[in-house]
Amino acid sequence: MVEPSTVIPSSAAGIFGIYQREYAERGLPTFPVRIDGAEKKPAIRGWQRVGLRGSTQLANKFASTSALGVALNSRRMVVDVDTKSESVLGDVLARYGDTPLIAQTASKGGYHCYYGNNTGAWRHYRSSRRAIRPEPNWAVDYLGTGFAVVPPFSHRQRPL
C-alpha cells in the first residue's frame, strides 16, 4: 500500500529549487521546466544531458522555477498510472516489478513509477518509446523518451 502524503501543486513557485535536491539524492538529475497553460517547456537548452552535478548547479540559478523535469531515455523511464486507484498501481508493480521510486502526481492524483531499466515495461511496445494508453481499458502510459514533469514529493526513498 502506498503511504499517504500531501501533494503540493506542481506549478507552485520555487518547486525546482526546493525539490531538486530530493530527486538528486535518489539518483535522478532534474532540470527546470516552465509551464505556460498546457505547454510544458524546459527552461534550459541541453536538458537531455544534465547530470547530477549540473542539476545541483541549476538549482541555484533557477530556484524560483515552478516545475522540474527528468529526461527519459533507454536507462530511465516512467510508467504513468493515470488514476488514483492503488489497485492499478499494484497491477503495474506486479507486472513490471518493484520500482526504486514512486511519486504521486499533483495533476490527476495518479502515480509515476520510475524504472532505471525500461526493458521490462517496453517488451510489448517496441515500436514506440512513448505509448499513451496502449491498452484502452488500463489507465497507464509508458514514457521512455523526451521528458516528464515530476511531482514535488516522493513515497519511496531508494535511488535508481
For residue range 79-95, what is the model confidence (pLDDT) as tens digits?
889 888 899 999 999 98
Write phi, then psi, for 80 (nearest 5 degrees). Answer: -100, 110
Q: Both 81 and 145 in a single domain? A: yes
The three cell numbers of residue 109 are: 492524483
Identify whether 96 is part of a domain.
Answer: yes
Number of domains in the chain: 2
Q: Both 90 and 114 in a single domain? A: yes
Which pLDDT belongs to residue 32?
Answer: 95
**Does residue 52 register a pLDDT over 90?**
yes
Q: Both 23 and 55 in a single domain? A: yes
| pLDDT tens digits, 106-131 | 667 788 888 876 556 665 555 667 77
Residue 11 confidence class, pLDDT cut points 50, 70, 90:
very low
Which pLDDT belongs to residue 112?
Answer: 87
Which pLDDT belongs to residue 9?
Answer: 43
- Tell me how far apart the alpha carbons of residues 154 and 6 are, in angstroms, rounded to a whole number: 10
Please tell me the pTM assigned to this model.
0.76
Write phi, then psi, for 23 (nearest 5 degrees). Answer: -70, -40
